[in-house]
Structure 1
Amino acid sequence: MNSFWTGERVRPRGIEPEDWRAFMEMDGYSDHQRSGDMLHPPRSAEGYRAWAAEQAVAKPTGDCFRLAIEALDGGVLVGGISTHDADPRTGRFTYGIGVGGGHQRRGYASEAIVLLLGFMFGERRHHKCKARIYAYNGASVALHRGLGFAEEGRPREHEFFAGRHHDLVLLGITAPEFAERHPFGEP
């Protein structure tokens, strides 16, 4: 018996209270924070413990949820993936992903994204996924293009951090575009 949520390399899963330390470690790298979001003020270990405990019991709000990404080779938490702004009327949602620096370029992100999109398109009936990536993050832009995302816009000097403004790349993929590359399996 297999799980929809288990790939060859990763298993997206609910966040557990003991995951706090791995998330704190990932946030300890400024480059990691900036590649996915922005630089945040330091948080205490107790703050991370409280956050992880809260996430462990949080119920999804519609189709908006946050998952930990666990590597199958060793059961180590390597990152997180989440959905945002899910709108059942329009069938659109946005998602974000972060993989810790020591775990990048191993196929974890691409597999977690494919599992998430398979769920949102094939099980939840969404039609389009949107992603927002800082233009300087060429590896993430290339990853998304390789998965079939198309660039839909590039707001110039849209976000401010590290002392200057940065362009943002808006990417999207539709359910049919995804299914062409990753056919939905039989039940």
Structure 2
Amino acid sequence: MTSIWTGSKVRLRGIEPEDWATFQRMDEHSADLRSVDMLYPPRSAAGYRKWAADQSTHEPTGDDFQLAVESLADGVLVGAMSTLDTDRRAGRFSYGVGICRDHQGRGYAKDAAVVLLTYMFGERRYHKCEVGILAFNEASIALHRSLGFQVEGRLRDHEFYAGRHRDMVLMGMTVDEFADRYPFHAL
């Protein structure tokens, strides 16, 4: 039996309490944090353990949720992704994905995005996915272009990072654009 949560390289799953150490290691790379979200003050190991334990029992609110990204090849946690800004009335949502530094460049982010988009478009009836990417994050912009996202605009001096304001690139993809590249299949 095949799961909608399994792609060709990764499986999306809930966060488990034992995942805390991987998340702590991910947060040790400031450049990676800036490209995904923002820098936060250091957290203790106990703080990471508590966060992971809380995430493992947290029930999603609507269609906003966070998932672990696990490699199919070896069952190792390689990153995380989350949905955000879900708007059922308008049919729009956004998401973020972050892959651990030592697992980047293997296609995990793209595969995870396809799995998530298949669920959000094909099961939750969303019409459009919109993402905001810091302009200096060229890898994420290239990833989203390869997925079929289109540049829809640029917000100048929109976010403050590393001592100055940075531009945000807005990209979007509709369900029809997604389905043209990744047809829906019944499992």
TM-score by length of 2: 0.98
Residue by residue over 1:26-58, the C-alpha shift from the partner in whole angstroms, topping out at 9 and shown as x without a partner, is 001101110101111101101101110110011
What amino acid is aligned across from residue 44 of structure 2 in structure 1? S
2:39 matched residue in structure 1: 39
Residue by residue over 1:47-74, the C-alpha shift from the partner in whole angstroms, topping out at 9 and shown as x without a partner, is 1011101100111111110000001121
SS at match of 2:121: helix
Q: Equivalents in 1 of 2:129, 2:7: separation in Å?
A: 20
Q: Equivalents in 2 of 1:25, 1:114: separation in Å?
A: 25
RMSD of the alignment, in Å? 0.8
In structure 1, runs of 5+ residues without a counterpart are: none
What amino acid is aligned across from residue 103 of structure 2 in structure 1? H
Q: Equivalents in 1 of 2:170, 2:51: separation in Å?
A: 29
2:107 matched residue in structure 1: 107
Q: Are 1:182 and 2:182 an aligned pair? A: yes
Residue by residue over 1:113-152, the C-alpha shift from the partner in whole angstroms, topping out at 9 and shown as x without a partner, is 0000000000000001111111001111011011000111
Q: Equivalents in 1 of 2:88, 2:157: separation in Å?
A: 31
TM-score by length of 1: 0.98
Q: Are 1:77 and 2:77 an aligned pair? A: yes
In structure 2, runs of 5+ residues without a counterpart are: none
What amino acid is aligned across from residue 148 of structure 2 in structure 1? G
Q: Equivalents in 1 of 2:147, 2:90: separation in Å?
A: 22
Q: Equivalents in 2 of 1:7, 1:46: separation in Å?
A: 33
User: Number of aligned pairs?
Assistant: 187
Q: Equivalents in 1 of 2:42, 2:152: separation in Å?
A: 34
What amino acid is aligned across from residue 157 of structure 2 in structure 1? E
What amino acid is aligned across from residue 167 of structure 1 in structure 2? D
What amino acid is aligned across from residue 20 of structure 1 in structure 2? W
1:156 matched residue in structure 2: 156
* Structure 1 runs of 4+ with >3 Å offset: none
1:55 matched residue in structure 2: 55
Q: Equivalents in 1 of 2:73, 2:186: separation in Å?
A: 27
Q: Equivalents in 2 of 1:113, 1:41: separation in Å?
A: 28
2:27 matched residue in structure 1: 27
Post-superposition offset of 1:186: 2.4
Q: Equivalents in 2 of 1:82, 1:36: separation in Å?
A: 11
Percent of matched pairs sharing the same residue: 61
Residue by residue over 1:145-182, the C-alpha shift from the partner in whole angstroms, topping out at 9 and shown as x without a partner, is 11000111111111111111111111111100000000
